[in-house]
Structure 1
Amino acid sequence: AGMDLAGVVTEIGSDVTDVSTGDRVVVDPSLAGVDDSSRLSGMGDLHGDLGVIGATVDGGYAERCLVPASHVYPVPDEMPLEHAATFPTCFLTASHALFRVGGLKAGETVMIHAAGSGIGVAAIQLAFHAGATVLATAGSEDKCQRALGLGASHVLNNRTGDVAAWARQTTAGVGVDMVMDCVGTALFGVSLFSLGIEGRLVNCGNASGDEATIPSLGHLFHFGISIHGSDPYQPEEFGPVWDEFCSGGYRVEIDSVHGLSDAGVAQDKMLSGDFFGKILLVP
């Protein structure tokens, strides 16, 4: 485990020329695009058996981790490594879903679920910085209020409120242009009813279950709604999104920091859902 990692380079391979020991780096955990000379090559099938550091190979739940030289990016001197470690999977997943798959544009409205998750925190800020109006939902009032500080214009507790009715009311009856959903089953139906004409539902996760039912095919085709699965991001996407993050203006939300010996405690906290932002492990 440990897909999101940043740290200091302690050793390099004999063929590595553009990375040095002592460099502070953040790691792209996707093993797509790894050079054939790397020990981590051959696992880059984006739509097959994609290798991922921290998922299919050893990751950041350790003091040291083997990574491809092509997949490390310099961390600015002024940025703490803890801040860099909040970036990789959350911001790349969110950016790919919002822009590459969902085609979000300035002036559009987007609903983002799970506002307190790492992906939600990233998505709200990326959409806001792109000029979109953000409607955010979360499972508690506290998380909703904190989402306002990230750039959401409107928030709703999705466990107590009527999501679709709220979306219509907030948009003067029009509905939102796009829903980005990493929750899955629990909010799938209300997400569809929250969309306006030719709205897009972009799914990038299944936290609440892997099955979903379309509540009304008539609604789907009458409004011209489209459903998109957000596939893995391409290797060339990481650098530009990292540069955007480093440019400033993005808040880092770290819920708690734990030592490696307390990894089980950190994992239990994540599974409980009682957190906002990222939970970090430090050696």
Structure 2
Amino acid sequence: MKILTFDIEDWWVYEHYKIGKKEDWLPRLDDYLDRILDLLDERNFKATFFILGEVAKSAPTVVRKIDERGHHIGCHSYSHKFLGDATPDEVIVDTKMALDVIADVIGRRVDAYRAPAFSITEGNKWVLSLLAENGIKYDCSIFPATRSYGGFPSYKSCCPSMIEQNGVSIKEFPMAPTTIFGRDIVYSGGGYFRLFPYMKIKSLTRQEDYVMTYFHIKDFDYAQERIYRSFKGEVALLRYIKKYYGLKGCFSKFCRLVSEFDFVSVEQADKMIDWDQQPLLKL
């Protein structure tokens, strides 16, 4: 199965980090979202959109637009604070704030979650039980390889799995790395999707039984203002390349991908799976 997901954070990110003038970037972000929703309607696809609580608060019309098209709504935390150093109380407060504000916008509770920067790791796996206790059925936060600000290389399952942690269960839909030149990478979103030529992405997508995507609107926005600076100790030049390389052709690459493969939401994928046949992991 190939699962289509988006992290909806950029309306807040652009304003919070002063990435250009709002009157310039807002029409661009709205236009990309509209084009994505129209494309998904044409293909009769549903996707899962992980909404940042701050976006639901500051731009509720964006969230309603997605919801009214019948897509699966998930939670992407409240203010995109990485969970690496968070305490249980901080995670509970952040999660409840996000769930409440999103529910106020769409009129129902959400049941899926993705942590900022895939920041559920071996060191804070207890977050999964807190999510389950707060009504989350599906988690999409685990990146079973090493990466900046997150990564869970000791997590050995690269397919949907049932996790038991602290006496509660949650269904995990992890990212699915592929090995290229001895390195585990995820090509189905972010920097590697922008970096790789489309034919390579197409080949990898075709050969994998399970693909989990993660797209951001800013990865399509070639007109965005570039910011050259380091972040959390990362060299400024390296960060600049990771954030902006390949922007120009990324949206057309995405459109080709969605036109050539069939995708489902996390919610639809759940109904396709015989969970008795999936791995049960006790963390």
Q: TM-score range by the shorter chain?
A: 0.3 to 0.5
Q: Which structure would you say has the larger Rg?
A: 1
TM-score, with structure 1 as normaliser: 0.32
TM-score, with structure 2 as normaliser: 0.32
The structure with the greater share of residues assigned to helix is: 2
Higher relative contact order (CA 8 A, sep 6+): 2
